[in-house]
Amino acid sequence: MTKTILSILCAAVLLGACTNYNQKNYKKYDGISYAEYEKQRKEREQQYEYLYETLSEEDITSPYDAVPEVVVEEDIVESVNSSYGEAVVVMASKKISLGRDANYSDMEKFQRALDSAYGTAFSHYKADGFTYAMSPAGTVNPLSVIDVQCILSESFATAKGKAVCDYFFTQIPLEYAKEKENAKDI
């Protein structure tokens, strides 16, 4: 055992002595030449200089030189509802567990349940700007936990936002149970 270790060690020392590694080898290396890159950069600068030389001061207009446009009140287009352009607020957020071994078929069922819960809540409250957002939130399996956010327009959120979101979140598990039951029947 010691003879094999000793022979391997001797072979390594002899192999190391046979290599021609030294500092002088690196002095022969020129390194990276940036001359070609400098040449390309100068060519690009010359192209841009040509563009600047062809433009005159009269060709360049300032936005302040333009005549202000007169807006007649009849030309203003009103939106269908009064909340056009209104800010939206994430009123509530809830993490819903789909189970440790959730897969894409479970996610498909959950999406259908979420859509029907949204439809039910929307038809019940007729909330302006009411929508939802969902994102995976599971640690090991991203589909195991889904983060659902209840989003409302800012003006409606202050009036009935809590009631809408509470109703929406109570409808999700009910609809999800229906979807799972329907999947068992098929």
Residue 105 is assigned to a structural domain of this protein: yes
Give the residue numbers spanning the domain of 135: 88-185
Residue 110 is assigned to a structural domain of this protein: yes
Report field, pTM of the whole predicted structure over 0.75: no
Residue 24 is assigned to a structural domain of this protein: no
**Mean pLDDT over each residue of the chain, to the nearest integer:** 75
Residue 115 is assigned to a structural domain of this protein: yes
Three-state DSSP class for 113? Answer: helix
Report the pLDDT averaged over residues 16-30.
59
Residue 120 is assigned to a structural domain of this protein: yes
Instruction: Of 49-53, 69-73, 125-129, 180-184, give the lowest mean pLDDT range.
Output: 69-73
> How many domains does the chain contain in total?
1
Q: What is the pLDDT of residues 111-151, one digit of tens each?
A: 999 999 999 988 888 877 888 999 888 888 888 899 999 98
Burial of 157 (0-12, 13-18, 19+ CB in 10 A): buried
| Terminal C-alpha separation, the chain | 70
With beta carbons less than 8 A apart as the criterion, state whether 144 and 98 touch.
Answer: yes
Residue 80 is assigned to a structural domain of this protein: no
Q: What is the pLDDT of residues 71-120, one digit of tens each?
A: 444 444 444 455 456 777 888 899 988 888 888 888 899 999 999 999 99
What CATH number does residue 96 fall under?
Answer: 3.30.300
Backbone angles phi, psi at 14, to 5 degrees: -65, -40
If residue 56 lies in a helix (H) or strand (E), which one and from where to where? none
Residue 123 is assigned to a structural domain of this protein: yes
Residue 31 is assigned to a structural domain of this protein: no
